[in-house]
Amino acid sequence: MSFLPEPAFDHGSTPAIGVLLCNLGTPDAPTASAVRRYLAQFLSDPRVIEIPKLAWWPILHGIILRTRPAKSAQKYASIWTKEGSPLMVWTERQAKLLQGRLGEQGHRVIVRHAMRYGNPSIASQLDALRAAGATRVLVLPAYPQYSGATTASVIDEVARWSLAHRHVPEFRFVNRYHDDPRYIEALADSVRAHWKSEGRGDLLVMSFHGMPARTLTLGDPYHCECLKTGRLLAEALRLSEAQYKVTFQSRFGKARWLEPYTEPTLRTLAEGGLKSVDLVCPGFSADCIETLEEIDMEAREAFLHAGGQRFSYIPCLNDRPAHIRALAAVAEQHLQGWPTTTTPDATALARQREAAQMSGASR
């Protein structure tokens, strides 16, 4: 087996330390062809689809990738911005703000963002960190709750990149922060701010991304961690059990998923006489198609059509200062023991390497 050449390393310098903020991913454009490329990568991951390849491949390539991209592209187009995909915009901004926050705290690290599926890829950003002299990398998946389909898939991709390299950096991984007090307080702060400006509904619905129900019986902790996040958020907001409800969205396929499902629950609530509802998505660190289109458009329409009178979506944490502080605190906890307070000269050299690498890539 041959390994890729390693970047030149100045043995007289202090090695750099990197932080890689990873989110799920997004198509490069709201077009059928771009969505097809994205879905092909996403739905080919055995962590996401736990069906034997021989059975799944004909369905994926013979049906899904022929019919779904055009429909999904229309949905992406409905939430696309002038800057691009909302998920990409927010994640890139989070990485820059995280770099600044950690710098204010005295940590001299290089923060980059990556997408598990799509661009910029985890591999390309790890290449950039290595070229900048990073010999230690903290991988921070933007998933507060651990799941094999998300967090573990990021770990898989980092391991896959490592297989091709001779000098593998020292890695640390943040597996979860679903019950971190600063994350919970950031969520509570966002809900309070929304209530203050928009008013308060009769019920707070906390919608998390769904997973097949069988993952719970197979030992995935995701369901339990979602429920704990919901309970802690309710406690921070001083809500009784009757004042909030945890649901799960984004069901795919015909199998049973974690329940209760978000949209059917909203319809049932409206049909039962509930007039106003607030909805927050605590498991999403940044607004994306699942929150902006599936929730703020489709779920809103379902609730209002069933008799509800007011549906208020509370945006994700995105670049809220409390969110960045929470991410920085989580990163600090996992950076302990690494020499993040390097000398200014060493830090400047690492930044110069990164700038040179980026300049070369743009030519």
Query: What confidence tens digit (pLDDT) does each residue in 243-271 have?
Result: 999 999 999 888 899 999 999 999 999 99
Q: What pLDDT does 353 receive?
A: 59
> Is 70 exceeded by the pLDDT of residue 347?
no
Beta bridge mates, 180: none
3-class secondary structure, 2:
coil
- Supply the pLDDT for residue 186: 98
Domain extent listing, the chain: 16-177+321-355, 181-314
Same fold, 16-177+321-355 and 181-314: yes
Q: Which residue has the higher pLDDT, 319 or 8?
A: 319
pLDDT at 354: 59
CA atoms within a 13 Å half-sphere pointing along the CA-CB vector of 207: 29
Tell me the one-letter amino acid at 135.
T
Residue stretches of the annotated binding site: 209, 290
What is the residue-wise DSSP string for 113-146? EEEEEESSBHHHHHHHHHHTTEEEEEEEES-SS-
Fold observed for domain 181-314 = Rossmann fold (3.40.50)
149-163 mean pLDDT? 98
Average pLDDT of the residues in 303-323: 98
User: 190 and 281 in contact (C-beta within 8 Å)?
Assistant: no
Contact 209, 250 (CB under 8 A): yes
What pLDDT shows up at residue 306?
A: 98
Distance CA 279, CA 266 (A): 10
Share of the chain above pLDDT 70, in %: 92
pLDDT over threshold 80, residue 11: no
**Confidence check: pLDDT of 127 > 80:** yes
Q: What is the mean pLDDT of the chain?
A: 93
Write out the binding residues for Fe(2+).
209, 290
Q: What is the CATH number of domain 16-177+321-355?
A: 3.40.50.1400
Written as one letter, the residue type at 281 is C
Q: What is the pTM of this model?
A: 0.91
pLDDT value at 344 more than 90: no
